[in-house]
């Protein structure tokens, strides 16, 4: 909770991230500066600051440094890129949707002034979202590590043949998935690629992860829900195939034969400020068009 300014005895600090090349985001950021600049210390991401001529800028990797609040102006993709940079710091994120309805950015632009007033008064609700730690080992050495909010996808190149992914849960052999790939998602990510591949929807506060095969060669392979306390280990056992590990749909890493991808619940989490007018199930109904004929 962010206490009112008069209780802190110091200026509140706010960092704002805009979706790239989104004029509505730039206009909203300019409006925030004009409205709250005299009383708050406001930073903008480098690109946005340059576009609107604001003097206080930050690199995205420092979005959670020295701030009490992060405001994201864009869509789910913009929020995912911010979430990976928070790195466990307890800074609430107010995510404002400026495009098509998102699963994560549930606050509308029209709702923003009222939500900011609630935040400054300490009168708001939050949703804590678990993250996933992903690490890649090659010939026994760690070559890559990242914490993410949505999902990790091991998938073949467009021209590759069926790939084999030898999969373990903790030290127990699960199976070797044969198909186009494998998705490992958090509850937050269950409404993304995993859902499109036939995976279940998990309520975002649950403590599970989902393994969803992509176009499995064996029709009996089905998505599996696991405890977030386990370690999932996926080894690429297909030689001479082009395979990519994609994280949150935004970060990619080519995998080599016998590379191992380790995935487990992260010690980090992300705190999202909830809309006062639109709930999670309303977003599901609208986004998935439930009840329509």
The CA distances from residue 135 to 176, 235, 237, 265, 273, in Å, are 19, 12, 17, 12, 29
**CB-based contacts of 102, cutoff 8 Å, min separation 6:** 75, 76, 79, 95, 283, 287
How many angstroms separate the CA atoms of 194 and 18, rounded?
Answer: 27
Q: Cite the active site residues.
A: 76
Burial of 160 from C-beta contacts in 10 A (0-12 / 13-18 / 19+): middle
- Residue 164 C-alpha from the chain's centroid: 27
Q: Which of 240, 62, 247 is nearest to 151 (CA)?
A: 247
Beta carbons of 89 and 268 less than 8 angstroms apart: no
How many angstroms separate the CA atoms of 15 and 25, rounded?
Answer: 14
- Pull the structure tokens for residue 43: 């930073």
Q: Which of 278, 275, 248 is nearest to 263 (CA)?
A: 248
Query: Which phi-psi region, left, alpha or beta, contains residue 9 (left: φ > 0; alpha: ψ -120 to 50)?
Result: left
């Amino acid at each position: 909770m962010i206490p009112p300014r008069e209780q802190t005895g110091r200026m509140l600090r706010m960092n704002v991230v805009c979706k790239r090349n989104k004029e509505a985001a730039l206009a909203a950021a300019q409006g925030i500066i004009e409205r709250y600049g005299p009383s708050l210390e406001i930073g903008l991401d480098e690109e946005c600051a340059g576009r609107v001529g604001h003097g206080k800028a930050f690199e995205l990797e420092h979005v959670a440094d020295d701030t009490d609040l992060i405001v994201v102006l864009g869509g789910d993709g913009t929020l995912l890129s911010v979430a990976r940079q928070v790195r466990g710091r307890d800074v609430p994120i107010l995510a404002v949707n400026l495009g098509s309805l998102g699963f994560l950015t549930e606050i509308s632009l029209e709702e923003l002034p009222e939500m900011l007033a609630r935040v400054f008064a300490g009168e708001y609700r939050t949703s804590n979202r678990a993250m996933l730690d992903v690490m890649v080992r090659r010939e026994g050495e760690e070559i890559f590590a990242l914490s993410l909010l949505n999902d990790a996808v091991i998938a073949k190149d467009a021209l590759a043949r069926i790939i084999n992914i030898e999969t373990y849960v903790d030290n127990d052999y699960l199976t070797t998935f044969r198909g186009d790939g494998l998705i490992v998602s958090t509850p937050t990510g269950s409404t993304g690629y995993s859902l499109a591949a036939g995976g279940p929807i998990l309520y975002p506060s649950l403590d599970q992860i989902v393994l969803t095969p992509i176009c499995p060669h064996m029709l009996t392979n089905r998505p599996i829900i696991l405890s977030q306390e386990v370690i999932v280990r996926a080894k690429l056992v297909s030689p001479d195939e082009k395979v990519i590990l994609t994280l949150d749909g935004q970060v990619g890493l080519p995998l080599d034969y016998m590379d191992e991808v380790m995935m487990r619940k992260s010690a980090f989490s992300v705190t999202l400020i909830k809309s006062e007018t639109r709930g999670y199930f309303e977003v599901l109904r609208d986004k998935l068009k439930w009840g329509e004929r």
